[in-house]
Structure 1
Amino acid sequence: MIDKNESLSVRRQCELLGINRSSLYYTPAKPDSEAMHRKEELMRRIDFLHTIYPYMGSRKLAIMLQREGYSVSRKIIRRLMAEMGICAVYPRANLSKRNFKESIVPYLLRGVTPYFPNQVWSIDITYIPLKAGHMYLTAIIDWYSRKIVGSYLSDTLDTDSVIIAVQEAVKRHGVPAILNSDQGSQFTSDAYKSLLKELGIRQSMDGKRRWADNIMIERWFRSLKTEQIYTHEYETPRELRRLIAAYIDEYNRVRPHEALDYETPDELYYGCFVS
C-alpha cells in the first residue's frame, strides 16, 4: 500500500494508514542453517539421553552434554525439552498454571486390571529425530494385549495429531471404555475432550504425582527408539513413516511377549473375539 513514488511522503502515507514507518525497512532474518543443524543435533542427543535416563532433569542433562563437549546451559536444555514435549519422569509438585486444574480429569485406573481388549487404552506423544529435522509420533496402546491400536506421525506437536490418531484407532478397532493420557495441553484441550465425549469414551489422566500411570506406552516408545530409531538414520518423513509402520506390524503380529505368556499382541487381542 505504500508507494515511494507518490507525491505524499512515506512518513505521511504511514501516518494516514496508521502503521509504524520502521516496519517498512524491516527485513526478516534468514534462518541460520548451521545454527538449525546444531539445534537439531542437540535435540537428538537430548532425546537419546532422556530415553536412556528418563529420570534426569535439565540440570543433569546439561552437565552430561557439557562433558560431551556441547556448549550449553541448563536454560537452553530446559527450553528445548519444552519444545520437544519431554520432561523428567519423577514425582514432583504440581506447578500448573492458574485455572489449569479446571481442565484436568480424574485418573480412573488405580487398581484396575483389564480383562479384555478395548477396556483401557493409553495415548501419548514422543519426539522422533530425522537426519535433518524431527517429527512427533502419537501412539495408542491397548492395556490388555499391549497391541498398538493407533499411531500418527506429524511435524507439529498439536491437538490435531492426537484427534486423527484417536479417530483412526476407533475406526479400525472400535471404541475403548477408557482412554488414559498425561496432563499435556493436547489432552486438556476442548477439541480432544469433545471428541471423547462424542465417541462415548471415558477420559482418564495421570495423577499429578503418578508419572508411572501411563508407563505402558512410555515403555513402548523406549523400545521403538532403542531398537529402531537410534540404529538408523532417516532421511525423509515418508521413510520414517514407512519404517515405523513396519516396526508396529512386527511388534503386533510377529514378536511374542514374555508378559503375555509368549503370545503376540495380535494373538491375544483378536483371540478374545473368536467364538
Structure 2
Amino acid sequence: MNWKKLYRIYREEGLSVRKNGGRKRAIGTRAPMAIPQGPNQRWSLDFVSDSLSDGRRFRVLCVIDDFSRECLAARVAITSRQRFFPTCYGTELTSNAILKWQEDRKVEWHYIAPGKPMQNGFVESFNGRLRDECLNEHLFDNLRHARELIAAWRDDYNHHRPHTSLDGLTPWEYHQGSVEDQTLNRANQ
C-alpha cells in the first residue's frame, strides 16, 4: 500500500496520533529585570555539570550576586534530585516545592525565558569561567576533591582576581566599597 492510500484511509477513519503535551513549566515572572543598585538585591542561580574520574556525574549549583559579581556559593553534589534540591518533577528550580519555598519566604522568583541564557548573563559568564579555568583543568577523583578545588577557585575568583567590569576591583572589594558608600550616604542624609 502506498502512502497516499494509507493517508486517505487514515483521514476517512478520523484517526490521529495523540500528541504529548509539552513539559509543564512553573509559572513565575518573566519580565525584563532592572539592574541591581546594591549588593544582595538580586542573586542568579544556575547549574554546571561535570564528571569524576570514575565517570559519575556531578553538578555545581552556582549562586552569583548580580551587583558585585561575587560567587556566594558553589555547591557540589552527585546528580540526584533528592540530594540537590527538592525538585519533584520538571527541570531544576521549577518545582512546586521551590515555588512554595519562595512564596513562604516572600522571595520574588524570576525565570528567564526558555532559550534565552543571556537574560541570566552574570551567572552564565561565571559558569564559563568556572568551566574553562577549573572544571576543564582538573580531573576530580571524588566529590571531596572536587569540592576542595572548586572552593579554592571560588576564593581566588572572589578575593584575588580583579574584574574590568568592576573598575579593576575584585568582587569582594566592590561589594565592600558599595556597603561603605551606602553607609556614608545614610549618614549624610
Structure 1 length normalisation: TM-score?
Answer: 0.53
Letter paired with 2:175: Y
- Corresponding residue of 1:112: 34
- Which residue of 1 is the match for residue 46 of structure 2? 124
- The whole-number CA distance in structure 1 between the counterparts of 2:83 and 2:29 is 23
In 2 relative to 1, CA 162–123 (structure 1 residues): closer, same or farther, beyond 3 Å? farther
1:113-140 CA-partner distances (Å, limit 9, x unpaired): 1110111111011112221122111111
Instruction: Tell me what 2:72 maps to.
Output: 149
Indicate conservation of the 8 Å contact 2:74/2:154, yes or no: no
**Distance in 2 (alpha carbons) for counterparts of 1:235 and 1:119:** 37
What count of residue pairs does the alignment treat as equivalent?
Answer: 158
Q: By percentage of residues, which structure has more helix?
A: 1
Whether contact under 8 Å (1:159, 1:191) holds in the other structure is no
In structure 1, what residue type is equivalent to 2:103?
A: K
Render the CA deviation track for 1:81-100: whole Å, top value 9, x for unaligned.
xxxxxxxxxxxxxxx94471
The answer to which structure, 1 or 2, has the higher relative contact order (CA under 8 A, 6+ apart) is: 2
Q: Is the 2:58–2:78 contact (alpha carbons within 8 Å) kept by the matching residues of 1? A: yes
TM-score (norm 2): 0.75
What secondary structure is seen at the aligned counterpart in 2 of 1:187?
Answer: coil
2:48 aligned partner, one-letter code: T
Quote the residue 1:240 is aligned against.
Answer: 146
Alpha-carbon separation, structure 1, partners of 2:23 and 2:142: 40
Q: 2:68 aligns to what SS in structure 1?
A: coil
CA deviation vs aligned residue, 1:230-266 (integer Å, no higher than 9, x gap): 1221111111100100111110111100000011111
Change (3 A) 1:219 1:238: same
CA contact (8 A) 1:138 1:162 kept: no
Q: For the structure 1 residues 111 and 153, does the alpha-carbon distance in structure 2 shift closer, same or farther, using more than 3 Å as the test?
A: closer
Q: 1:199: which partner in 2?
A: 105
Pick from 94, 100, 110: which aligns with 1:188? 94
**1:100 counterpart residue number:** 24
Mapping of 1:45-56 within 5 angstroms? none
Distance, in Å, in 1 between the alignment partners of 2:60 and 2:91 is: 16
CA apart distance, 1:270:
2.5
Structure 2 residues without counterparts, runs of 5 or longer? 1-19, 184-189
2:79 maps to a residue whose letter is: T
Helix, strand or coil at the partner of 2:92: helix
Unpaired runs of 5+ in structure 1? 1-95, 164-183
| 1:198 to partner: Cα distance | 2.3
Runs of 4+ aligned structure 1 residues displaced above 6 Å come to none
Contact 1:186/1:192 (8 A) holds in 2? no
Q: Could you tell me which amino acid in structure 2 is paired with residue 135 of structure 1? A: F
